[in-house]
C-alpha cells in the first residue's frame, strides 16, 4: 500500500506534491518520488527513504504546473531508489505512480520485454507506463491508451500518469482509493483527502472503473468504456489543522491529546433524552438481524471486542472475528446475519475481504469507520462514522477510543432491535457518564505519571498487560501499542490466563500493567498478585481508591466512572506509557519500521 498524489493548475506543482506526500506518509515511507512536466520533458526525482530525504535531495524544486507523486510501502521489490515511483517507459515520456498490486505483471512484463521495452525496477507498477506508451502508438488519444492499458491489468490500482508535452493528468481506479480535490483553479488527485486538505475541502470520491482526465481548466470522469459519469461533490468537514502536526513532535502525541475533542465529536447529538440516536439507523433498522459478526484487524479488532461483549451482555448472539480469519471462522452466515466491519481507514484489505465474503453469503453489512467515502463505507449496506478526525500516526490512538464509544452506542440500537433489551441493566448511568468521558480523558492527560513509569521500567525484558472482561481488550490493545512503537516485547493476556503458561516468563524484569475497570476485578487482582509473588512489578491502572492500589508497586490513576468507560481511560494511560517508552528509546514513533497505517494488501 502506498500514497499517490497528482496536481494540475497555475504555478509550480512540486511544493504542493511534496507537502501532500508528507500528509500521505502514514500509508508508507519506504521511498518517495515526484515527476513534473513543463513542456521540456518529464522530470522524475525519487529516492529510497522518507519524503524529507527526497526534499533534501532536491536543491531546487523542479518547475512545472502539473505533476504526480508517490510514497511507498514496498510489496514488489525492496525499498531502493530504482523501485521508488514514479516509473517511466523506456524513453521516459510517460511517468506513472500507482497504489495497489498488479497481479499479472510478470506475464505483461515478459511480453513487453520481448517487444523491446527496457525495465529498471523489480516493481509490478513499471508495466503500466510501458503499456501506456505502447498503446499510444495506435490509440487515437492518450486517454484511449490509458483506458486500454488499465483494461489489461489484473489486480488493484489507483494510478496517475503524466505524459511529455501534454497538459493533462490521467488517472484510473480499481480496488484502491482515489479522491479528486476541486479548487478554484487547480485539481488534485490523491489516495486520501489530507494530501490536499490545505487547498480544498471539495472532493469527489471516485468509483472502481472510473477513468479521470485533469486538464488546466476542466476535469472529465468516464467509465471503463469511455462513457461520461457524474459523481457527486462532497464537502469534507475535517479541519486542515487536524491533518497537521502543529506544535507537536509527533502525530501520535497530538492524536492522544486530541482525544477529548475527538470523543466530543463522536458523541455529539447521538444521545437524545437518554436514548441513543445514531444518524440513519432509526429504531427497527436491525429488526431482521439474529446474529452480529464484528470483523476487524489490529486495534480495530480490540475496539470490536467492546461491541461483542456488550451485545452478549444483552443476550444477542455476537462474535468478533479477526478479518483475516473470516473465511475459516465465520460459521453459518445468512440474511439474518449482520457483518459489522470495524475499520478506521475503511481500506484494510482483510476487513474488506471479510465483509465481501459475508455479503456474498447473504449477510447484511455495516461499516463503522472514520473515513467518509472509504471503500468500506461505500460498499457496506450502511455506515456509521466514528467522527474522530484524521489520524496520521501509524499507531491508532484516538480512533480506538472513538470506535469503542461508537460501538457502545451502536450496540444499544442493536440490542433494542434484536433482543428487545438493553446491553446493561444500568444503561442510563452508562449513557449519562459518557457525557463526562471527554473531561475524564482530559484529567488523565493532565496528571498522568506515564512518563515516570516508562522511564522506570525502560530496561525491562518484556512488558505484560492483563485485564478481564472489557479490560482484556484494553490489555491486548496496550500490548499492541507498546510493541508497535517501542519494538520491545509486549503481550496482552486475559488476567486468568497468566497462570496457564505465560507465568513461566514472569521475573522481576517483566512489569505487569493490570487494567481494572471496576467490574469483576477480582481475577485481575489475584493474578497480578500471583505474578508479583514471582518478582514482577505490578502497575495498577485504576481509580485512586481502588483496592488494587494498596497491593500494586505503582499506580496509574484514572477518574471514577462507569466500568464501560474505565477501560478507555486506562487505555489512554497505556497509550502514554507506550509513547514515552518509544520516545525515550529514540524510536521513529509515527513511522514504526515495516508498518503502514492502512494495510491494503492481504
Ligand atoms: O484502518 P483499520 O482500522 O482497518 O486498520 C486496522 C489495523 O491495521 C490497525 O488498527 C493497526 O493495528 C494499528 N496501526 C495499530 O496501532
The whole-number pLDDT of residue 600 equals 72
Query: CA-CA distance, 374 to 192, in Å (whole number)?
Result: 9
Which ligand 1 atom is at minimum distance from the Cα of 296? 4
Question: Is position 456 within any domain?
Answer: yes
The position carrying cell 521500567 is 457
**Strand 202-205 with 179-182, pairing:** antiparallel
Cβ of 396 closer than 6 Å to ligand 1, yes or no, is yes
Query: Is 254 known to be catalytic?
Result: no
Residue of the nearest CA to atom 4 in ligand 1? 343
- pLDDT tens digit sequence for 141-188: 999 999 999 999 999 999 999 999 999 999 999 988 999 999 988 999
3-state secondary structure 255-310: HHHCHHHHHHHHHCCCEECCEECCCCCCCCCCCCCCEEEEEECHHHHHHHHHHHHH
Phi (first) and psi of residue 174, to 5 degrees: -155, 105
Confidence of residue 35 (pLDDT cuts 50, 70, 90): very high
185 and 273 in a single domain? The answer is: no
- The yes-or-no verdict on residue 79 having pLDDT over 90 is no
264 and 232 in a single domain? The answer is: no
- The yes-or-no verdict on residue 544 having pLDDT over 90 is yes
Which ligand 1 atom is at minimum distance from the Cα of 481? 16
- Ligand 1 centre distance from Cα of residue 446 (Å): 27
Question: Is position 36 within any domain?
Answer: yes
Cβ of 252 closer than 6 Å to ligand 1, yes or no, is no
Confidence of residue 42 (pLDDT cuts 50, 70, 90): very high
Grid cell in block for residue 451: 512518563
The kind and range of the H/E element at 205 are strand 202-205
Judge contact between 343 and 386, C-beta under 8 A. no
- Residues shown for the chain: 602
The whole-number pLDDT of residue 45 equals 94
Grid cell in block for residue 367: 461499516
- Ligand 1 centre distance from Cα of residue 148 (Å): 35
The whole-number pLDDT of residue 241 equals 75
Q: At 138, which CATH number?
A: 3.60.20.10
Question: Is position 504 within any domain?
Answer: yes
Q: What is the pTM of this model?
A: 0.86
- Ligand 1 centre distance from Cα of residue 342 (Å): 10
Judge contact between 597 and 394, C-beta under 8 A. yes
**Strand 155-163 with 337-343, pairing:** unpaired
* Of 137, 159, 168, the residue nearest 65 (C-alpha): 168
Cβ of 300 closer than 6 Å to ligand 1, yes or no, is yes
- Ligand 1 centre distance from Cα of residue 300 (Å): 6
Which residue of 29, 344, 593 sits with most ligand 1 atoms within 8 Å of its CB, as the best mutation to test the pocket? Answer: 344
Angle between helices 437-447 and 563-584 (to 10 degrees): 30
Query: CA-CA distance, 187 to 56, in Å (whole number)?
Result: 26
261 and 212 in a single domain? The answer is: no
Which one of 46, 254, 591, 597 is the catalytic residue?
597
More confident residue, 78 or 111: 111
Question: Is position 359 within any domain?
Answer: yes
Which residue of 301, 396, 578 sits with most ligand 1 atoms within 8 Å of its CB, as the best mutation to test the pocket? Answer: 396
Q: At 472, which CATH number?
A: 3.40.50.10490
- pLDDT tens digit sequence for 285-320: 999 999 999 999 999 999 999 999 999 998 999 999
414 and 547 in a single domain? The answer is: no
Which ligand 1 atom is at minimum distance from the Cα of 351? 4
The whole-number pLDDT of residue 360 equals 97
Question: Is position 575 within any domain?
Answer: yes
User: Is the torsion defined by CA of 545, 551, 557, 563 positive or negative?
Assistant: negative
The whole-number pLDDT of residue 539 equals 98
The position carrying cell 491502572 is 541
More confident residue, 236 or 203: 203
Average pLDDT, rounded, for the chain: 94
* Of 374, 435, 388, 386, the residue nearest 562 (C-alpha): 435
Q: What residues contact residue 487 under an 8 Å CB cut-off, 6+ apart?
A: 585, 587, 592, 593
Grid cell in block for residue 392: 496520521
The whole-number pLDDT of residue 242 equals 75
Residue ranges of alpha helices (H) inside 117-221 are 127-136, 142-151
Query: Is 2 known to be catalytic?
Result: yes
Cβ of 324 closer than 6 Å to ligand 1, yes or no, is no
The whole-number pLDDT of residue 182 equals 96
Instruction: Please give the full DSSP string across 174-206, using - where no structure is assigned.
Output: EBS--EEEE-SSEEEEESSGGGTTTT--EEEE-
Q: Of 18-22, 195-199, 419-423, give the lowest mean pLDDT range.
A: 419-423
The whole-number pLDDT of residue 237 equals 82
3-state secondary structure 300-354: HHHHHHHHHHHHHHCCCEEEEEEHHHHHHHCCCCCCCEEEEEEECCCCCHHHHHH
Residue ranges of alpha helices (H) inside 325-468 are 326-329, 349-360, 375-379, 398-418, 427-434, 437-447, 450-456
The whole-number pLDDT of residue 421 equals 76
- Ligand 1 centre distance from Cα of residue 441 (Å): 22
- The yes-or-no verdict on residue 87 having pLDDT over 90 is yes
- pLDDT tens digit sequence for 480-513: 999 999 999 999 999 999 999 999 999 999 999 9
Angle between helices 298-313 and 563-584 (to 10 degrees): 170
250 and 291 in a single domain? The answer is: yes
Measure the CA angle with vertex 72, ends 385 and 202; round to 5°: 40
The whole-number pLDDT of residue 362 equals 97
170 and 96 in a single domain? The answer is: yes
215 and 129 in a single domain? The answer is: yes
- Ligand 1 centre distance from Cα of residue 53 (Å): 26
3-state secondary structure of 457: coil
23 and 158 in a single domain? The answer is: yes
The number of angstroms, rounded, from the C-alpha of 348 to the middle of its chain's C-alpha atoms is: 7
Where on the phi/psi map is residue 346: left (φ > 0), alpha (ψ -120 to 50), or beta?
Answer: left
How many Cβ atoms from other residues are within 10 Å of residue 222's Cβ? 17
- pLDDT tens digit sequence for 369-425: 999 888 999 999 999 999 999 998 999 999 999 999 999 999 999 999 998 877 777
Grid cell in block for residue 378: 461505500
**Section 191-196 average pLDDT:** 92
Question: Is position 440 within any domain?
Answer: no
The whole-number pLDDT of residue 564 equals 94
Phi (first) and psi of residue 384, to 5 degrees: -120, 130
Which ligand 1 atom is at minimum distance from the Cα of 396? 16
Last residue of a domain, one of 187, 205, 236: 236
- pLDDT tens digit sequence for 100-113: 999 999 999 999 99
Cβ of 486 closer than 6 Å to ligand 1, yes or no, is no
Query: CA-CA distance, 405 to 571, in Å (whole number)?
Result: 13
Residue 226, classified by CB atoms within 10 Å of its CB into exposed (0-12), middle (13-18) or buried (19+), is: exposed
Cβ of 323 closer than 6 Å to ligand 1, yes or no, is no
Last residue of a domain, one of 378, 406, 435: 435
Residue of the nearest CA to atom 10 in ligand 1? 299
Count structural domains, the chain: 3
258 and 195 in a single domain? The answer is: no
Residue ranges of alpha helices (H) inside 40-163 are 51-57, 105-114, 127-136, 142-151
582 and 529 in a single domain? The answer is: yes
Question: Is position 134 within any domain?
Answer: yes
Last residue of a domain, one of 236, 256, 276: 236
Which ligand 1 atom is at minimum distance from the Cα of 395? 16
Residues paired with 465 in a beta bridge? 492, 513
Share of the chain above pLDDT 90, in %: 84
Question: Is position 334 within any domain?
Answer: yes
The whole-number pLDDT of residue 184 equals 86
Query: CA-CA distance, 351 to 367, in Å (whole number)?
Result: 10
- Ligand 1 centre distance from Cα of residue 396 (Å): 6
- The yes-or-no verdict on residue 531 having pLDDT over 90 is yes
Judge contact between 574 and 583, C-beta under 8 A. no
Cβ of 344 closer than 6 Å to ligand 1, yes or no, is yes
Cis before 162 (ω within 30): no
Cβ of 392 closer than 6 Å to ligand 1, yes or no, is no
Cβ of 571 closer than 6 Å to ligand 1, yes or no, is no
65 and 193 in a single domain? The answer is: yes
- Ligand 1 centre distance from Cα of residue 162 (Å): 33
CA distances from 336 to 24, 333, 378, 418, 449 (A): 39, 8, 21, 10, 48
Grid cell in block for residue 397: 490512538
Which residue of 348, 384, 594 sits with most ligand 1 atoms within 8 Å of its CB, as the best mutation to test the pocket? Answer: 348
Q: Which domain holds residue 458?
A: 445-602
Where on the phi/psi map is residue 487: left (φ > 0), alpha (ψ -120 to 50), or beta?
Answer: left
72 and 161 in a single domain? The answer is: yes
Amino acid at each position: 500500500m502506498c500514497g499517490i498524489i497528482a496536481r494540475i493548475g497555475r504555478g509550480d506543482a512540486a511544493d504542493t506534491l511534496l507537502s501532500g506526500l508528507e500528509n500521505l506518509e502514514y500509508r508508507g515511507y519506504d521511498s518517495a518520488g515526484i515527476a513534473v512536466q513543463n513542456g521540456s520533458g518529464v522530470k522524475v526525482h525519487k529516492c529510497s527513504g522518507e519524503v524529507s530525504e527526497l526534499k533534501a535531495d532536491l536543491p531546487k524544486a523542479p518547475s512545472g504546473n502539473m505533476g504526480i507523486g508517490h510514497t511507498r510501502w514496498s510489496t514488489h521489490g525492496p525499498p531502493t531508489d530504482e523501485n521508488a515511483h514514479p516509473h517511466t517507459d523506456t524513453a521516459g515520456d510517460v511517468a506513472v505512480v500507482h497504489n495497489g498490486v498488479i497481479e499479472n505483471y510478470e506475464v505483461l512484463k515478459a511480453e513487453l520485454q520481448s517487444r523491446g521495452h527496457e525495465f529498471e525496477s523489480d516493481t509490478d507498477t513499471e508495466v503500466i507506463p510501458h503499456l501506456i506508451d505502447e498503446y499510444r502508438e495506435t490509440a487515437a488519444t492518450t486517454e484511449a491508451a490509458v483506458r486500454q492499458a488499465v483494461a489489461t491489468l489484473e489486480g488493484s490500482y489507483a494510478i496517475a500518469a503524466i505524459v511529455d508535452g501534454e497538459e493533462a493528468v490521467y488517472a484510473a481506479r480499481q480496488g484502491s482509493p482515489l479522491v479528486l480535490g476541486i479548487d478554484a483553479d487547480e485539481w488534485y488527485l490523491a489516495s486520501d483527502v489530507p494530501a490536499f486538505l490545505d487547498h480544498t475541502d471539495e472532493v469527489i470520491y471516485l468509483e472502481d472503473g472510473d477513468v479521470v482526465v485533469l486538464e488546466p481548466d476542466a476535469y472529465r470522469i468516464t467509465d471503463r468504456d469511455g462513457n461520461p459519469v457524474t459523481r457527486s461533490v462532497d464537502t469534507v468537514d475535517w479541519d486542515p489543522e487536524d491533518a497537521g502536526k502543529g506544535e507537536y513532535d509527533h502525530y501520535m502525541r497530538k492524536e492522544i491529546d486530541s482525544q477529548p475533542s475527538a470523543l466530543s465529536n463522536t458523541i455529539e447529538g447521538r444521545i437524545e433524552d437518554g436514548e441513543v440516536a445514531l444518524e440513519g439507523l432509526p429504531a427497527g433498522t436491525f429488526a431482521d438481524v439474529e446474529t452480529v459478526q464484528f470483523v476487524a484487524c489490529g486495534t480495530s479488532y480490540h475496539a470490536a471486542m467492546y461491541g461483542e461483549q456488550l451485545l452478549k451482555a444483552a443476550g444477542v448472539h455476537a462474535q468478533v472475528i479477526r478479518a483475516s480469519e473470516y473465511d475459516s471462522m465465520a460459521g453459518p452466515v445468512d440474511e439474518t446475519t449482520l457483518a459489522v466491519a470495524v475499520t478506521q481507514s475503511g481500506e484494510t484489505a482483510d476487513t474488506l475481504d471479510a465483509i465481501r465474503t459475508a455479503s456474498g453469503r447473504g449477510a447484511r453489512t455495516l461499516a463503522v469507520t472514520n473515513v467518509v467515502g472509504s471503500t468500506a463505507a461505500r460498499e457496506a449496506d450502511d455506515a456509521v462514522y466514528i467522527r474522530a478526525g484524521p489520524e496520521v500516526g501509524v499507531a491508532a490512538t484516538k480512533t480506538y477510543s472513538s470506535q469503542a464509544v461508537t460501538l457502545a452506542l451502536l450496540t444499544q440500537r442493536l440490542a433494542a432491535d434484536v433482543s428487545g433489551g438493553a446491553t446493561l441493566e444500568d444503561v442510563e448511568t452508562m449513557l449519562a457518564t459518557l457525557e463526562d468521558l471527554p473531561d475524564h480523558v482530559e484529567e488523565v492527560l493532565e496528571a498522568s505519571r506515564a512518563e515516570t513509569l516508562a522511564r522506570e521500567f525502560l530496561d525491562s525484558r518484556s512488558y505484560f498487560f492483563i485485564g478481564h472482561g472489557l479490560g482484556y481488550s484494553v490489555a491486548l490493545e496496550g500490548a499492541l501499542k507498546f510493541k508497535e512503537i517501542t519494538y520491545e516485547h509486549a503481550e496482552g493476556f486475559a488476567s486468568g490466563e497468566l497462570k496457564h503458561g505465560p507465568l513461566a516468563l514472569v521475573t522481576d524484569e517483566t512489569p505487569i500493567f493490570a487494567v481494572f475497570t471496576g467490574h469483576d476485578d477480582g481475577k485481575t487482582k489475584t493474578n497480578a498478585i500471583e505474578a508479583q509473588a514471582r518478582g514482577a512489578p505490578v502497575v495498577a491502572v485504576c481509580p485512586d481508591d481502588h483496592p488494587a492500589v494498596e497491593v500494586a508497586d505503582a499506580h496509574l490513576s484514572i477518574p471514577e466512572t462507569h466500568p464501560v468507560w474505565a477501560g478507555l481511560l486506562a487505555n489512554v494511560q497505556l497509550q502514554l506509557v507506550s509513547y514515552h517508552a518509544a520516545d525515550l528509546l529514540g524510536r521513529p514513533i509515527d513511522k514504526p519500521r515495516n508498518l503502514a497505517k492502512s494495510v491494503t494488501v492481504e
